[in-house]
């Protein structure tokens, strides 16, 4: 690849095209908006992570001796709400998706740049309200807001928290809307659906879920807020309501939400693995369709969160069946990624380490999902640490690692600089080890009966809790490292050049950092995705 210039400071690109607060806070450039999101969600990640550390510290001892019961309940509630709504849901789509989708399809921007900016402002307003909630006493509903607890029995800022999430939900809906229209209407000439990188397929599937599912969360939270404010009886049995109706409405969104969280991560892995195996993804069509399959089937399984809630035996069986069905496309993806590595040429660069870690940990998390879909097993382990371990394996072991894989992979494109590779590898391994130490013991804790959301617990559970807390300190260090070296790289990192990885994809055909309008001229695409057999054999920057 011919690189544009060697010294980024001399060339105009999206970072130096304009200066000043106004150029950032009123930008419509999808790349700048992506960076605004990057800073915001990193901030919330550390807030959520801080709560997690406090939780783990409390759980070092069986007694509730670090914080009071009410405080502990607030800690796990806000940890969940912040991590889910203000970190995981936006992470890959709003940061990497925003930055890359126009570039990957050969467009100058998303379909609706101003709506993109509005999306970020909504996120900030929602996040600001959540911060205010946290600072003025917090909320202790659990991230699930079950009724009638949250509508009639708690004195904390329930409505405020619900409003903050409602607003953040609109941010998510608008991002999804933008992506759908962009991918449909703004692909460069020659970029057929069958030539799109899988990252686009994943984000497209994610966007469908965001658009269809999030409004139902909006109405669920609205009804909770109205019930609480006006003492209505929509869900409260004492006033004639049905608490299970809330659960149905809530989980109708919140189950697909987990696919909003994981699908983009899968998209990242689908980019990283081929690049560092120097090989096309095995079974491209199957991986692409699997993303759509997950999105569609994901809407049919919500009541598997309610197997012991009081639903009928027959509907439970239906949901169990569909839950097994939705596992199939995820399995297909794992097998395809693994098969991609077969007879490839493997580089151990940091993004690849994270991607391989993702496959392993996502597989473990997914396997435990098979346990949960079995009705009899779920009866025992639901509402215990088994569930906590299951979703952290997928969300943290899977999604966060995929996000880090993506950040490292596209950091050169975003910043024009390389991060220090040795530190990258060290952080990846620290995170992998710390993660397993933290969360594997929790499977055992759950299976032996330790319930979740417990401030204090019977003493026989202490050993595994101590192990888990020890792991979390290692994990915390692992997360701090990239913070430090990414910032360091902005000033001292090696210049990256257009395509340090020798990767396929339109985004690598333009400079790093890219110019504001991405491409000098609209590209015309005549090749298939992941055409690694045509690209240089060597990855220029060796990993």
Kindly identify the residues of this chain, within the stretch 475-534, that bind another protein according to CB under 8 A.
Answer: 517, 522, 532-533
CB of 112 to another protein, least distance (A): 6
Nearer to another protein among residue 40 and residue 336 (C-beta): 336
The residue from 16, 69, 315, 520 that contacts another protein (CB under 8 A) is: 69
CB of 484 to another protein, least distance (A): 28
425 binds another protein (CB under 8 A): no
The residue from 137, 344, 420, 515 that contacts another protein (CB under 8 A) is: 344
Burial tier of 534 (Cβ tally within 10 Å: 0-12, 13-18, 19+): exposed
State the Cα–Cα distance between residues 111 and 101, nearest whole angstrom.
Answer: 11
420 binds another protein (CB under 8 A): no
State the Cα–Cα distance between residues 8 and 496, nearest whole angstrom.
Answer: 10
Contacts (CB under 8 A) with another protein, residues 127-166? 140, 142, 146, 148-149, 152-154
Nearer to another protein among residue 52 and residue 111 (C-beta): 111
Contacts (CB under 8 A) with another protein, residues 267-296? 277-280, 282-286
In angstroms, the Cα distances linking 82 to 129, 207, 442 are: 11, 21, 22
Contacts (CB under 8 A) with another protein, residues 162-201? 173, 177-178, 180-182, 184-186
User: Which pair of tokens denotes residue 385?
Assistant: 């640490």
The helix/strand/coil state of 13 is coil
Contacts (CB under 8 A) with another protein, residues 356-415? 356, 359-360, 363-364, 367-368, 370-371, 373-380, 382-384
CB of 410 to another protein, least distance (A): 21
Nearer to another protein among residue 69 and residue 484 (C-beta): 69
Nearer to another protein among residue 63 and residue 128 (C-beta): 63
Give 493's DSSP letter: S
Question: Half-sphere exposure of residue 434, counting CA atoms within 13 Å on the CB side?
Answer: 19
- Count other C-beta atoms under 10 Å from residue 240's C-beta: 10
22 binds another protein (CB under 8 A): no
CA 411 to chain CA centroid, Å, is: 18
319 binds another protein (CB under 8 A): no
Contacts (CB under 8 A) with another protein, residues 249-268? 249, 252
Q: For 65, phi and psi rounded to 5 degrees?
A: -120, -5
The residue from 38, 162, 218, 389 that contacts another protein (CB under 8 A) is: 218
Burial tier of 332 (Cβ tally within 10 Å: 0-12, 13-18, 19+): middle
The residue from 54, 131, 211, 433 that contacts another protein (CB under 8 A) is: 211
The helix/strand/coil state of 417 is strand
Nearer to another protein among residue 278 and residue 417 (C-beta): 278
The angle formed by the CA atoms of residues 131, 132 and 138, to the nearest 5 degrees, is 85
339 binds another protein (CB under 8 A): yes
State the Cα–Cα distance between residues 394 and 268, nearest whole angstrom.
Answer: 15
The residue from 118, 332, 474, 525 that contacts another protein (CB under 8 A) is: 332
State the Cα–Cα distance between residues 158 and 145, nearest whole angstrom.
Answer: 8
């Amino acid at each position: 690849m011919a690189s544009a210039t060697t010294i980024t400071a001399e060339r105009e690109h999206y970072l130096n095209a304009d200066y000043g607060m106004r150029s950032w806070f009123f930008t419509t450039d999808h790349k700048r908006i992506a960076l605004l999101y990057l800073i915001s969600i990193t901030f919330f990640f550390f807030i959520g992570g801080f709560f997690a550390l406090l939780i783990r510290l409390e759980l070092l001892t069986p007694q509730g001796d670090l914080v009071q019961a009410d405080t502990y309940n607030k800690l796990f509630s806000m940890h969940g709400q912040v991590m889910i709504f203000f970190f995981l849901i936006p992470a890959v789509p709003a940061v990497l998706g925003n930055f890359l989708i126009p570039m990957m399809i050969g467009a100058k921007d998303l379909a609706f740049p101003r709506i993109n900016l509005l999306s970020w402002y909504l996120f900030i307003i929602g996040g600001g309200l959540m911060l205010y909630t946290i600072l003025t006493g917090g909320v202790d509903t659990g991230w699930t807001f079950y009724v009638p607890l949250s509508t009639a029995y708690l004195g904390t800022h329930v409505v405020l928290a619900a409003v903050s999430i409602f607003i953040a939900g609109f941010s998510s809906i608008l991002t999804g809307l933008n992506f759908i229209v962009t991918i449909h209407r703004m692909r460069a000439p020659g970029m057929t659906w069958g030539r799109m990188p899988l990252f686009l397929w994943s984000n497209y599937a994610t966007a469908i879920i965001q658009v269809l599912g999030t409004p139902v969360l909006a109405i669920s939270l609205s009804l909770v807020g109205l019930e609480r404010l006006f003492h209505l009886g929509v869900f409260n049995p004492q006033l004639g309501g049905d608490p299970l109706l809330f659960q149905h409405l809530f989980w109708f969104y919140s189950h697909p939400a987990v696919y909003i969280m994981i699908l983009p991560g899968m998209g990242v892995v689908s980019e990283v693995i081929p690049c560092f195996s120097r090989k096309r993804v095995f079974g491209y069509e199957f991986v692409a369709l699997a993303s759509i399959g997950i999105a569609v089937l994901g809407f049919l399984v919500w009541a598997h969160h309610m197997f012991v809630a009081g639903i009928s035996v027959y509907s439970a069986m239906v949901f169990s069946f569909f839950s097994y069905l939705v596992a199939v496309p995820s399995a297909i993806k794992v097998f395809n990624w693994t098969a991609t590595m077969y007879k490839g040429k493997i580089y151990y660069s940091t993004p690849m380490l994270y991607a391989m870690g993702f496959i392993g940990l996502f597989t473990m998390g997914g396997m435990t999902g098979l346990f949960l879909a079995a009705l009899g097993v779920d009866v025992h382990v639901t509402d215990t640490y088994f569930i906590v371990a299951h979703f952290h394996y997928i969300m943290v072991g899977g999604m966060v690692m995929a996000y880090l894989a993506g950040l490292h992979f596209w950091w050169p494109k975003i910043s024009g600089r390389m991060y220090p590779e040795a530190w990258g590898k060290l952080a990846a391994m620290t995170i992998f080890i710390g993660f397993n130490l933290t969360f594997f013991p929790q499977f055992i804790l759950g299976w032996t009966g330790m319930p979740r959301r417990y401030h204090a617990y019977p003493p026989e559970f202490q050993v595994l809790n101590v192990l888990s807390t020890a792991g979390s300190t290692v994990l915390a260090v692992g997360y701090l490292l990239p913070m430090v070296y990414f910032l360091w790289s902005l000033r001292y990192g090696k210049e990256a050049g257009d395509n340090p990885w020798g990767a396929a994809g339109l985004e690598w055909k333009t400079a790093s950092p890219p110019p504001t309008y991405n491409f000098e001229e609209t590209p015309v695409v005549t090749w298939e995705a992941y055409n690694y057999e045509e690209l240089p054999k060597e990855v220029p920057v060796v990993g």
